[in-house]
Structures are given as structure tokens and as C-alpha cells.
Chains A and B, each alone.
Chain A
């Protein structure tokens, strides 16, 4: 590695030292000629450290790794994805002692035996094979001090990498509370590495770790543990020689080890793809020979490494002899109890669901109010015209369309972070596993899917807890089928317009409430609403099954899950997690959502002669003002009338009547212009790209019972399904500010689609229940899967499903109706 052009290295404050200055150039810098490089580089042959030192952070799940990362880097991480995989890449900076080091967070894992490309990322980063990271100078391995033995398994693999290693014993307080005593100095000497005691959530030991990290250049690589028999290492060197013969230069010792130990692992797969089956034969021979000598691959690795771990800990760690029933066990006794467990689970899920469904609403309303305030402000500054329309209907609506999801995301991750940090999240998966297993998933898919009933966006983002890639992908792909809150307005509008207000009487209940204005019973509208909300979830079961049989085939992953001990959630950790998720959404998905909104604005604005519309918009403003003024005058007069009725020389009654007449007149004039504006808007929309698309697809949507008006509504609502109400309002010349319970819109629909209205209603509702009409969800899927393939796939399969569903509904409905 000679030069790196990564712009992230170009920040001037890190280019103080002369060897770093070369990295300070951007691509295309005129000074960067070969001669310049030759005269400024110390020696062309020697690889020069051009960038910052890099240190990787690795550890088991539930060891407080993210807390330590945040504590070390101060929440300034860059979040992205490793190229080509779904693994999140988090890179932060540590500044200490006037030195700066980059810290790379690797996914939490129990072992470094990569079976998939996703799992290979960590190994590649640590071995300096990951291009976008480069060489790693050292590794920090964080372990749970209260559970050293199992954690040392990963440590023994990390030590095999041959990198300078810093061992962090986190959760020191938990270990103390459990009366686990650890001879830290002894451990330091036995492993020959820096061992630092830490309580990450209390910021204890952080500076010591920072100091060790920034001075990692003084560390030497530790001795490899060598837990396997000598025959194994002999075969390793034979294999290395063999591979060199094949031209394989990357013979990192750890990769050779993995090649032998992981039957069908990622290292083997890659080599077989490259060199063909001869490799498999060689490997089978070696494994056969090792088996004869008593070293059974793949089972022997765990035994040897655990034996090593126990040997290391002997004499250094003492654990209370007999397992005491911990407080955590007693809590578990209740929370996983047959009845109490289910009750607590249902209650917690109810609260979470309520939060994202109901509690987020006021904040979302506030954002929408803010959005319209900004739009009003723009309207008062900029005359009607394309610019105002672009700013208000494109830009402001786009920003609002991103921000409006933030309350739900923040609330869901607030609860998830609390549940995760206190240890309940694993229990939720534990409780629901049996149910979720029936559709081929595991208990870990439950919370993401349940959250999707409020909104698929936080739901998809919450799938990160599912470490099995296939399960995670299937969960992501079916999450948008869950009936989210944005579908409700559509259902409400359609049922209000077309489903007869029948209430079926229920024995006793109806009789008991007979003298109420509306006696209680089961309403048909309610049944329809419930059916629509359940439809997506019901369809998701066969979809999940099918996905598991096709794209995500493979053996059922085991449900081997650690149940961490309960603890009080930390405010800091919860806050950090909420901030992290919201930022990830706004930065990574928000830009794409914004772009989609602007695009759709353009499609509904162009082409068209907007001059009449702008004229009307301009003339409506003074008319509205005069109505307001007239109203105000009338109110004042009426107030005066109340307080000063005995005033003799005035005839207030006359003046009130006058004002009333004036108000009525102003309103009538406003009404005329408003009607014309609504009509013009409707015509403009019909003539726009969007409207033409509606006409264009009419033959395709005829079999669903739709006309072009519904077609336009549906097309316009592909970026966001709730838009259909406003679009139908515009198309029916009622203005775009109608709501789903607007009587004008309901009566328009009822009279327009008189004969087969109810069948049409079902066809539209089924379509909306199954269709992926949400650009934001698709963009979040893009972000979470790190590929365009899956949002495109989701869009295609759900649209096909929706079309078929609506077709079937309409055709069957018409047969039943006639």
C-alpha cells in the first residue's frame, strides 16, 4: 500500500506529520506527479502508513461492546455498510495523548469461523483483506468478566490472527456481584497482553483503554495459543505449501486454519470457486488423516479451544462452587412463567404497539403542522408559480415526509433499547419462538413484525437483532405486508363510502344498550376493517413459507441464543441507541425519500398550463382575507350586542345583519373561486404525467373495477399510500385538503360508483392491503439489505400480489353480486 486517495483521510488536522501529507491530496491533484511522489516519499519500496492507525473492536454479543465503542469514540461514528454485504460498518475516532486512531466496530459474535460472506467480513477486516478498511494495526477484544470461560473461546481465535491484542474485561461490577474473583495480573502474564478492567456503562477504565489503543504501535503480537495437536500444525504448513503451488499468496495462518477447520466454510467455498474441486479432495484427505490421529474435524476445535480456556483460567479465576439461584433467575421464573410470562409479554407488546401507533401521533401532527406553517410562510413570500409549488409541494413536503417517520422510529427504538439493555428482548424471542417457528422463522422476528403493524420502517430497521441472514431477509421482505397505520385512512374512506352501516345485534349486549343512541353490537364496518388489517398478516404466512423454499433455502438455523442476565437499563445506552437509529434513518434513507417526493411532485405538476391556477391562487388570497375580516367584524359586533344591548342611540341589530350579509357575500365569492380552483387543479392533475399514466393504465385496472380516477389515485399513492385521499379529493375537484371522513368525498364516491360500489371498495382495499406503496419502506429496505435488488423485489412481488388480489376480489364480488 503506497497511497490512499480515500477523501476521509484528507482532513487537515490529521496531516501534521510529513509522512501523512501525501495522503492530503485528492484524486486529480496536479502536484501529485510521479516525480513529486518520488521526491517526497521516504522510499518507494517500503509500504508507508499514510492514513491513521486502525484498531478493530470485537467481542461476544451482550458484552457491552457498543457501549464501549460509544464511550471510546464519543458518538461521532460514521455509519455505513461493508460493500456487498448486509453488515453494518461503524467507524469512529479516538483522540488521546495527541494521537488519533480509527476504531472499527465489528459485529458481535461468539466465534470467528465464517460460514457466510457476511461472517467473512470480520475476518477480512482483521486480516487487512477488506479493501475499504485497509490494514488493521491492533484488535481490542472485549469480554464479559462474569463469564470469562465462554468469552475466551473467541479470544483464542482472535489470538490466532497474530495481531497485537488488547483484552478488555468489561462488566467488572457484575463479576464482583457474582463473587467471581479474577487475578488480572496473572491473566496479563499468562496471555502476555494488556488486560484492562472496565465498566463501560459507568465510563470506568475508558481512558486506560484509550491510552492502550492510541499507543498500539508499542504492542507486540502475542503468542498464538496453539490449542491443537502438533499433527494439525504440521498439516497446516503442508497445506500452505500446497496452496502456494496454486498461486495463492494470501496465506495468512488464520485462513489456513479456517480452511481446514470449517467444513464447507466461507474460506473453503471461495477457494473451491477459484480452483475447482481439487481443493476439496486435498482438504478431505487431510481431514481424514487428522481424524485417524484422533482430531475429528469439525468437532475438535471447540473441545480444544475450551480446554485451552479452562487451562488459562485455572488458578486465576475462582467462581462460586455451587451455582446460586441468582436474582436474574428469579425474575426469569416470573417472566417466562407459563401464565405470568405470557401476560407480561402481551402487556409489554401492547405498550410498545400503543406507543408507535398512538403516542407518536401528536408529534407527527406537530411535524405536519410545522410543515404547513413553513408552507404558509413560503406562500406569503413567493407568488404562485412553479417555484412556490416546487418548494412547498416538493421540497417542504419531501423534508416533512422524512421527518414525519422520526417519532415512530425514535419511540420504537426507545422501547427496543430499554428491552434489549435490560435483557428482556432475548426473552421476548424466547417466548414467541414456538409460534414463529411455524412460519419458518424464529422468535427474534416477532418484535420487528409486530412493530410493522404501526409502521414498516422501524420494523425493518429492527430486524438487525436477527443474526441469521436468511431469517432476517425473509422478515424484512414480509414486514411491509403488515397493515401499517398509513393504510387506515384508505380503509376508513372506503368503508365509510360503501359498506352499509349494518350493526348485528349481540344477545344481551344489544338489549342492554337498546335505549342508547346507537345500541352496541357488531358493526359490519368494524368487521371489514378488522378483515383488512388482518389480510396482510395472513398473506405473509404463505409468502414467508415460499421465500424460505426458494430464495432463502437452507437448513433451519438453530435457535441457540444466550439469555443475558437482567439488569437496569442505562439512560445513556438507550439515548445513544435512539440517536443512532434516527440518524441512520434520516441520513441514509431520508435523502432517497426526499428525492422520490420531489420526483412525484414533478410528475403531478408537469406538463400543464398553470397560469389560470396561479391567477386563481393569487385572487383567492385577498378573498380569504376579506372573509376572515368579515367574520372578525361580525364576531366583534355580536360581542358588543351582548355587552351593550341597552345602548339607546344605536341599532346594533341592523349592523349585525349587515355584517352577516357581507360575510355571506364574501364567502360566496370565495366559494366560486375555490370551486374553480379545485376544478382547475383536478384538470391539471388529469393532464399531468401522473394523470396521463392513470389514463394509460386504465385498460389494465378495468378488470379490477377501477376507472382512471382511481388509477391516478393509486399511482400517485405509490410513494406514500395515504396520499390517495388527497389525490381523490383533487380529482373530484374537492381540493387536496380533504380527509378520509370528508362527507363531500364520501358522497362523491357513493354517487359515482353507485351500482357496484361495495365490490370496488373491496378491490381497492385489498390492493392497498397488499401493495408496497411506500417509498420510505423501500428505501429503508435498500439501506438495510445494502442492495437495490431487494427493494425492487419487494415492490414487484407485492404489486403483483396486490393486483391479483384486487382482480380476484372484484371478479368474485361481481359474480356474487349478480
Chain B
């Protein structure tokens, strides 16, 4: 089932299928290591609900929900 990482629960992981778009934001996301095949885990949310904290390639990255929605993942168990 295809999801986006903002739909994960804290502690849940997914595998990146694709980052959509071809603009500067997509390129930036990919430069930060969000490439297909990588595992991504939701660590938590900011107190006001947005942005989100993820673990990717062994470090912690914050993304806004709207940016996370560009990433399609398959939920891992």
C-alpha cells in the first residue's frame, strides 16, 4: 500500500518509492538523502503538529507535512 511519510505513526518506518516533482524542492529533498529504496522513520511531530521529524540515512531531518507529501513510501513492518 502506498503512503506518504506524514501518515506514519511515531516509530513506524517506510521505504521510499519515489519523490515526485522535478523542481528545486524535490532536488533538495533528494540531496538530503531521500532517494528511492531508502528507509524513513517518523520520530515525532512539532508541538503545534507541523513540521515532522524523521530519521533517514542515520540522521534526523525535519520536513513540513506538505513536503513530506511529495514522498511516496511503502509502509514497513
0/1 per residue, B26-59, Cβ < 8 Å to A? 1111111101100001011111111101010111
Closest to A319 in B: B58
Cβ-based interface call for B3 (8 A): no
Q: Is A332 an interface residue (CB 8 A)?
A: yes
Q: Is B61 an interface residue (CB 8 A)?
A: yes
Which residues from B are CB-within-8-Å of A146?
58
Q: Enumerate chain B residues within 8 angstroms of A443, measured Cβ to Cβ.
A: 51
> A303-B36, A560-B67 in contact; A332/B43 too (CB < 8 A)?
yes
Min distance, Cβ A300 to any Cβ of chain B, angstroms: 9
- Residues of chain B within 8 A (CB-CB) of A339 are 47
- CB pair A149–B57 under 8 Å, yes or no, is yes
Whether B62 lies near A563 (C-beta < 8 A) is: yes
- 15 A–B contact pairs at CB < 8 A? A303-B30, A303-B36, A332-B44, A332-B60, A430-B46, A431-B48, A433-B51, A558-B25, A559-B51, A559-B63, A560-B28, A560-B67, A562-B61, A563-B53, A565-B60
Q: Does B1 have its Cβ within 8 Å of any Cβ on chain A?
A: no
- A563-B54 Cα distance, complex, nearest whole Å: 9
Tell me which residues across on chain A come within 8 A of B35, comparing CB atoms.
Answer: 302-303, 306
A337 to B46, CA, bound (A): 7
How many chain B residues sit at the interface, stated as a range, is 35 or more
Residues of A within 8 A of B51 (CB): 430, 433-434, 443, 559
Partner of B27, one of A298, A338, A426: A298
Question: Which residues of the other chain, A, contact B67 by a CB distance below 8 angstroms?
Answer: 558-560
Query: What is the chain B residue whose CB lies nearest that of A335?
Result: B47
* Residues 414-453 of A at the B interface (beta carbon under 8 Å): 426, 430-431, 433-435, 437, 443
A-B pairs, 7 with minimum CB distance? A302-B30, A563-B60, A434-B48, A341-B47, A558-B25, A342-B47, A111-B31
Contact A560 to B61, CB < 8 A, known contacts A302-B27, A306-B35? yes
Residues of chain B with a CB closer than 8 A to A110's CB: 31-32
CB contact list, A136-169 vs B, under 8 A: 146-147, 149-150, 153
B29's partner among A337, A430, A558, A564 (CB-CB below 8 A) is A558
Q: Using a CB-CB cutoff of 8 Å, which residues 334-353 of chain A contact chain B?
A: 336-339, 341-342, 345
Q: How far is the CA of A332 from the CA of B55 in the complex (A)?
A: 12
CA distance A565 to B43 in the complex (A): 13
A435 and B28 CA atoms in complex are apart in Å by: 23
Q: Is A561 an interface residue (CB 8 A)?
A: yes
Is A31 an interface position by the 8 A CB rule?
Answer: no
Contact B47 A336 (CB under 8 A): yes
- Count of chain A residues with a beta carbon within 8 Å of a chain B beta carbon: 48
For the complex formed, measure the closest distance between the CB of A475 and the CB atoms of chain B, giving whole angstroms.
18
CA distance A430 to B60 in the complex (A): 12
A433 touches B27 (CB 8 A): no
| Proximity bits, B12-29, A CB within 8 Å = 1, else 0 | 000000010011111111
Task: Tell me, in angstroms, the Cα distance from A110 to B57 when the chains sit together.
Answer: 14
Residues of B within 8 A of A113 (CB): 27, 31
* Interchain CB contact under 8 A, A115 and B24: yes
State in angstroms the CA–CA spacing of A781 and B58 once bound together.
38
- Among B49, B50, B59, contact of A562 (Cβ-Cβ < 8 Å): B59
The answer to whether A337 touches B47, judged by C-beta atoms less than 8 angstroms apart, is yes
- Option from B29, B31, B32, B46 in Cβ contact (under 8 Å) with A434: B46
Q: How far is the CA of A555 from the CA of B24 in the complex (A)?
A: 9
Contacts of B59 in A (CB 8 A): 147, 150, 562
Of the candidates B24, B29, B50, B57, which one forms a contact with A433 in the assembled complex, judged by CB atoms under 8 Å apart? Answer: B50
Residues facing B in A387-424 (CB within 8 A) are none
Q: Is the CB of B31 within 8 A of A562?
A: no
CB neighbours (8 Å) of A559 from chain B are 51, 62-64, 67
Known interface pairs A319-B58, A342-B47, A431-B46. Does A299 touch B64 (Cβ–Cβ under 8 Å)? no
**C-alpha spacing A342/B30, complex, angstroms:** 31
Instruction: Say whether A10 faces chain B, with CB atoms less than 8 Å apart.
Output: no
Q: Are A306's CB and B33's CB within 8 A?
A: yes
A72 to B5, CA, bound (A): 42
Tell me the interface secondary structure of chain B in the complex: mixed
Given the interface contacts A336-B53, A559-B67, does A430 sit within 8 Å of B62 by beta carbon?
yes
B57 touches A147 (CB 8 A): yes
Which residue on B lies nearest to A149, using beta carbons? B57
The answer to whether A555 and B25 touch across the interface, beta carbons within 8 angstroms, is yes
| Chain B residues in the interface with A (C-beta under 8 A) | 19, 22-33, 35-36, 41, 43-51, 53, 55, 57-64, 67
Q: Which residues of B contact A147 (CB under 8 A)?
A: 57-59
Q: How far is the CB of A283 from chain B (nearest CB, A)?
A: 14
**Closest beta carbon of chain A to B4's beta carbon, Å:** 15
**Residue A13 is within 8 A (CB to CB) of chain B in the complex:** no
Q: Which residues of B are found within 8 Å of A301, using beta-carbon distances?
A: 27, 30
Q: How far is the CB of A58 from chain B (nearest CB, A)?
A: 15
State how many angstroms separate the Cβ of A152 from the closest Cβ of chain B: 10
CA A179 to CA B46, docked complex, whole Å:
29
Taking CB atoms, residues of chain A closer than 8 Å to B64 are 433, 437, 558-559
| A 256-285 contacts with B by CB, 8 A | 263-264
CA distance A110 to B55 in the complex (A): 17
Name the distance in Å between B72's Cβ and chain A's nearest Cβ: 14
Q: How far does the alpha carbon of A535 sit from the alpha carbon of B44 in the complex, in Å?
A: 36
B47 pairs with A561, CB closer than 8 A? no
Which chain A positions have C-beta within 8 A of B36? 303
- Give the shortest distance, in Å, between B29 (CB) and chain A (any CB): 6
Cα A462 to Cα B31 with chains together (Å): 26
Does A323 count as interface, using CB distance less than 8 angstroms?
A: yes
CA distance A236 to B75 in the complex (A): 39
Q: Are A434 and B62 in contact (CB under 8 A)?
A: no
**Nearest-Cβ distance from residue A652 to partner chain B, whole angstroms:** 73
Cβ contacts A535-567/B at 8 Å (1 or 0 each): 000000000000000000001011111111100
B1, chain A: closest CB distance, angstroms: 23
User: Is A329 on the interface with B (CB-CB < 8 A)?
Assistant: yes
The minimal Cβ–Cβ distance linking A694 to chain B, given in whole angstroms, is: 49
Query: Please, which residues of chain A bring their CB within 8 A of the CB of B19?
Result: 299
Q: Is the CB of A329 within 8 A of B25?
A: no
Contact in complex: B61, A336 (CB < 8 Å): no
Q: Which residues of A contact B44 (CB under 8 A)?
A: 332-333, 336
- B24, B43, B53: residue with the most chain A Cβ atoms closer than 10 Å: B24
Indicate whether A299 sits within 8 Å of B30 (C-beta atoms), given known contacts A147-B59, A336-B44.
yes
CB distance from B8 to the nearest CB of A (A): 14
User: Complex formed: what's the CA distance from A263 to B26 in Å?
Assistant: 12
Q: CA A687 – CA B46 in complex, angstroms?
A: 60
Give the distance in Å from the alpha carbon of A328 to the alpha carbon of B53 in the complex. 13
CB of A358 to closest CB in B, whole Å: 27
Query: What CA separation (Å) do A149 and B58 show in the bound complex?
Result: 9
Chain A nearest Cβ from B62, distance in angstroms: 5
| A-B contact sample (16 more), CB < 8 A, given A433-B51, A559-B63, A559-B64 | A153-B31, A153-B33, A299-B26, A303-B36, A332-B53, A336-B45, A430-B62, A433-B48, A435-B48, A558-B25, A558-B29, A560-B32, A561-B61, A562-B60, A563-B53, A563-B60
Looking at B29, B47, B48, the one whose CB has the most chain A CB atoms below 10 A away is B47
The residue that B55 contacts in the complex, of A323, A342, A431, A560, with Cβ under 8 A, is A323
Docked Cα-Cα span, A341 to B60, in Å, equals 17
Q: A115-B24, A299-B30, A336-B53 are in contact. Are A560 and B62 (CB under 8 A)?
A: yes
Chain B residues with Cβ below 8 Å from A111 are 31
